[in-house]
Homo-oligomer: A and B are copies of this chain.
Amino acid sequence: MQTHSILAVGSLAFDTIETPAGRAEGVLGGSVNYFSIAASFYAPIQVVGVVGEDFPRNHLDWLSKRRIDVSGVKVASGKTFHWVGAYDTNLNEAKTLSTALNVFEHFDPRLSSAQCDARYVFLANIDPILQQSVLDQIKSPNLIACDSMNFWITGKPEELRKTLKRVDVLSVNEGEAYLLSGTRNIIRAASIIREMGPSVVIIKRGEYGAMLFTASGMFIAPAYPTSTVKDPTGAGDSFAGAFMGFLAEAGASRDMAKSAPDKWDALLRRAVLAGCVMASFTVEDFSIRRLMGLENAELVDRQHQLMKMITI
């Protein structure tokens, strides 16, 4: 058991996606799929999820070859979760056309003892009741991050509030932040959400990057402006993967907010930039294709480039 290991709980899925750049039918997707590939550039991952018998075994094998432990991915009898979505020219927002939960409908994350020891926890966009069930099982985490979406903000607001009280980091997009906070002002929105629990709030702004809100203020990171944008699916999850991976690799912990606030803030800022860079690769092709072919040297090069674009 490595102390820097990240536990990621969420979906592995098939996606059918239509964007102005084309269409991809029944391709590999799912929040922890994107998350874990992105995070694996920085730290080892343990994935907890469920797939159907139709999910390709060779993809799980591929994941396990790059410090992603897939022993927590249950293969249940039935079909894999299938999401059908579309984007118009405003690539910042997906329109869900249909969702077939399939085996994911009865997803009930039970952690092994190694998983309960995880220091870094990422709760992808799942039912907040399941998010809490995971937190009940975790022993002594350094850092807990979670994601959510309109569906839960509107559908299970009380349960989501309970989750938020127990997490350190929440990442949401602008629309979700407005919905969750009840204000359309981004600064007030972040402040209201921080009062709900997470001391670190990340508001993702698609092609405009992300904003980080902490006790010591705010950091505004631009997206890396890639010239090829084919499919925004998974941008947020791969952002979160690089963000958590970066913090896990650095051994960051929520305690640093008090014991070493400057270092904590600097790490969070760099983690956000790592997230922006990773997301910029994700969108360059459909599904997880670009991430699967991504070389570490490309990642490092683009990080340098983004730094140059924001340096005064």
Binding site for B on A (CB under 8 A): 89, 184-188, 205, 208-209, 211, 217-220, 222, 225, 227, 229, 266, 269-270, 273, 307-312
Which of B218, B222, B269, B270 is the one whose CB lies under 8 Å from A220? B222
Copies of this chain present in the complex amount to 2
Known contacts A227-B185, A227-B187, A227-B188; is-contact A266 B218 (Cβ 8 Å) = no
A225 to B184, CA, bound (A): 12
Known: A205-B208, A220-B222, A222-B222. A312 touches B227 (CB 8 A): no
CB distance from A247 to the nearest CB of B (A): 15
Q: Give the contacting residue for A273; candidates B218, B229, B270, B312; CB below 8 A.
A: B312
Q: Distance (Å) between the CB of A296 and the closest chain B CB?
A: 21
Could you list some 10 contacts between A and B, CB below 8 A? A89-B184, A185-B229, A187-B227, A218-B225, A219-B309, A220-B222, A266-B312, A269-B312, A270-B312, A311-B312
- For A310, the chain B residues whose CB sits under 8 A away are 219-220, 310, 312
In the complex, the chain B residue whose C-beta lies closest to that of A183 is B227
Across the interface, do B217 and A308 meet the contact criterion of CB distance under 8 Å?
A: yes
What CA separation (Å) do A222 and B223 show in the bound complex? 11
Chain B residues positioned under 8 Å from A222 (CB to CB):
209, 220, 222
Q: Which B residues lie within 8 Å of A89 (CB)?
A: 184
Q: Summarize A's interface: helix, strand, loop or mixed.
A: mixed
Q: Tell me, rounded to whole Å, the shortest Cβ–Cβ distance linking A218 to chain B.
A: 5
Contacts of A205 in B (CB 8 A): 208
Contact B312 A187 (CB under 8 A): no
- Whether B225 contacts A186 by the Cβ 8 Å rule is yes
Residues of B within 8 A of A273 (CB): 312
Question: Who on chain B is nearest to A208 by CB?
Answer: B208
CA of A273 to CA of B218 in the docked complex: distance in angstroms?
16
Tell whether, in the assembled complex, residue B307 and residue A312 are in contact, meaning their CB atoms are under 8 Å apart.
Answer: yes
Known A187-B225, A219-B309, A219-B310; further 18 A-B contacts with Cβ < 8 A: A89-B184, A187-B227, A188-B227, A208-B208, A209-B220, A211-B225, A217-B309, A218-B309, A220-B225, A220-B309, A222-B222, A266-B312, A269-B312, A270-B312, A273-B312, A307-B312, A310-B310, A310-B312
Residues of the B chain whose Cβ atoms lie less than 8 Å from the Cβ of A308: 217
A270 to B311, CA, bound (A): 10
Q: Tell me the complex Cα distance, A211–B185, Å.
A: 23
Cα distance A225–B191 in the bound complex, in angstroms: 13
Name the residue on B nearest A211 (C-beta).
Answer: B225
Residues from chain B with a CB closer than 8 A to the CB of A227 are 185, 187-188
Contacts of A312 in B (CB 8 A): 266, 269-270, 273, 307, 310-311
Question: Which residues does chain B contribute within 8 Å of A218, judged by CB atoms?
Answer: 225, 309
Residues of B with C-beta under 8 A to A229: 185
